[in-house]
Amino acid sequence: MSKLRIGLAGLGRLGQRYAMNLARAVPRAELVAACSPVEAERAWVRDTLGLPAIHERYEAMLADPAIDAVFLVTPTSLHPAQIAQALDAGKHVFCEKPLSLDLDECRRAAAHAARSHRRAMVGFVRRFDESYRDAFRHIEAGGIGRPFLVYSQTADLADPTGAFLAFAPTSGGIFLDCSVHDVDLARWLLGRPKALKVFASGTVAMYPPLEALGDVDNGIAIVEFEGGRRAMFHASRTQAHGHDTHTDVTGTAGKLSIGRNPRANRVEIADAGGVRNTVLPSFYERFAPAFVAQATHFVDAVLDDTPFDLTMEDAVEATRIAVAMRESLQTGHPVAL
């Protein structure tokens, strides 16, 4: 098989980016179908990419024997069932993060994938970012000694319209929506230690409607891992300057930082106001090449029958820790894992 024939489910905010990437930027992918229940989204993909098959229903797309693999960029609540349906239909499946907001559902989906003769991977895009990969290689080669401390944050530009509030009730809360990325990074950069205990707190700085949902717009958490390893997390929806995702890793012989200055480009402006950079507006501008690299990895690994960089157990573990963060935030108590 020279190309992997793909059906894409979900054509929303992120799904349209996936459609463009799979159609144009992933060398061994062939985007042959897409599905969405929303007519405007189907019209978009018809007009933009002119795909041979565009479906209203996911089940109709799965029935197509011309599809080898499915990409899921659908609402998180649908992921576990759609993964199982794809595997049962004989398709490999790539699913956007998080696997699920519910831990039991995560475990069932991972068990289903383990039993299947088809393959499943949940995407955590930051692992495919060149800077994070370089940092990983440096740590793996012993460059900072024994890594024992991670600080990682996902901080979005404040939105004066509060548009994200429409998604807040179904997002699982700030830790499952945002920190799940940082949790996966921390586990990866610290050598996949077992998490033992979580403590979380947070505050509503700008968006009072979150209070009724038991959610916050700034969440902080500490995770204790085995072997004395520790991680600190900050997730925010209220940054004044832009999208500011960065990670620090401290080891016994050094420290490294990834993405510390969230500048949009390499232009530095000096004037009477000081010296400054413009700032990345959102996660997509920061991680656009990584989304292509991630899709390319999935496609190549399926075609060449090589291992995925990310296992389903990684996805389950990220949710397990993020769920404990939410519980700690809501109860005010540490949570043992």
Q: From residue 101, give the alpha-carbon distance in Å to each of 116, 176, 196, 274, 285.
A: 22, 7, 20, 44, 26
CA distance 126 to 154: 11
The sign one gets for the Cα dihedral 295, 122, 51, 39 is negative
Should residue 76 be labelled a site residue for ligand NAI when binding is judged by CB under 6 A? yes
Should residue 15 be labelled a site residue for ligand NAI when binding is judged by CB under 6 A? yes
The pattern of x and - marking residues 248 through 267 that bind ligand NAI according to CB under 6 A reads --------------------
Residue placing its CB nearer to ligand NAI in the complex, 167 or 269: 167
What sections of the chain are H helices per DSSP? 15-24, 39-49, 58-62, 79-88, 103-115, 130-140, 168-171, 174, 180-189, 283-304, 312-331
Should residue 10 be labelled a site residue for ligand NAI when binding is judged by CB under 6 A? yes
Question: What residue type is assigned to position 296 of the chain?
Answer: T
Contact between 86 and 109 under an 8 Å Cβ cutoff? The reply is no
Report the nearest approach of ligand NAI to the CB of residue 283 (Å).
5
Q: In what order do the strands lie in the sheet with 335-336?
A: 254-258, 246-251, 147-157, 230-239, 218-225, 195-203, 335-336
Should residue 78 be labelled a site residue for ligand NAI when binding is judged by CB under 6 A? yes
- List the end-to-end C-alpha distance of the chain, in Å, as a whole number: 44
- Which of residues 4, 6, 8, 9 is near ligand NAI by CB under 6 A? 9
Should residue 73 be labelled a site residue for ligand NAI when binding is judged by CB under 6 A? yes
- Which of residues 32, 125, 139, 150 is near ligand NAI by CB under 6 A? 125
Report the nearest approach of ligand NAI to the CB of residue 42 (Å).
9
The residue range among 10-18, 23-31, 188-196, 225-233 that interacts with ligand NAI, by the rule CB under 6 A, is 10-18
Residue placing its CB nearer to ligand NAI in the complex, 58 or 207: 58
Residue placing its CB nearer to ligand NAI in the complex, 12 or 281: 12
> Measuring CA to CA, which residue among 255, 253, 215, 250 is closest to residue 235?
215
- Which of residues 13, 260, 276, 333 is near ligand NAI by CB under 6 A? 13
The residue range among 74-82, 135-143, 229-237, 238-246 that interacts with ligand NAI, by the rule CB under 6 A, is 74-82
Should residue 74 be labelled a site residue for ligand NAI when binding is judged by CB under 6 A? yes
Neighbour tally for 90: CB within 10 Å: 13
Neighbour tally for 38: CB within 10 Å: 12
Contact between 154 and 322 under an 8 Å Cβ cutoff? The reply is no
Please tell me the count of residues contacting ligand NAI according to CB under 6 A. 22
Residue whose beta carbon is closest to ligand NAI:
12
- Which of residues 71, 128, 233, 283 is near ligand NAI by CB under 6 A? 283
Residue placing its CB nearer to ligand NAI in the complex, 144 or 299: 299
> Measuring CA to CA, which residue among 281, 277, 286 is closest to residue 258?
286
Contact between 263 and 280 under an 8 Å Cβ cutoff? The reply is yes
Report the nearest approach of ligand NAI to the CB of residue 69 (Å).
15
CA distance 8 to 123: 14
The pattern of x and - marking residues 198 through 237 that bind ligand NAI according to CB under 6 A reads ----------------------------------------
User: According to CB under 6 A, which residues from 16 to 45 bind ligand NAI?
Assistant: 35-38, 41
CA distance 105 to 110: 9
The sign one gets for the Cα dihedral 258, 264, 265, 267 is negative
Should residue 14 be labelled a site residue for ligand NAI when binding is judged by CB under 6 A? yes
Binding site for ligand NAI (CB under 6 A): 9-15, 35-38, 41, 58, 73-76, 78, 96-97, 125, 283
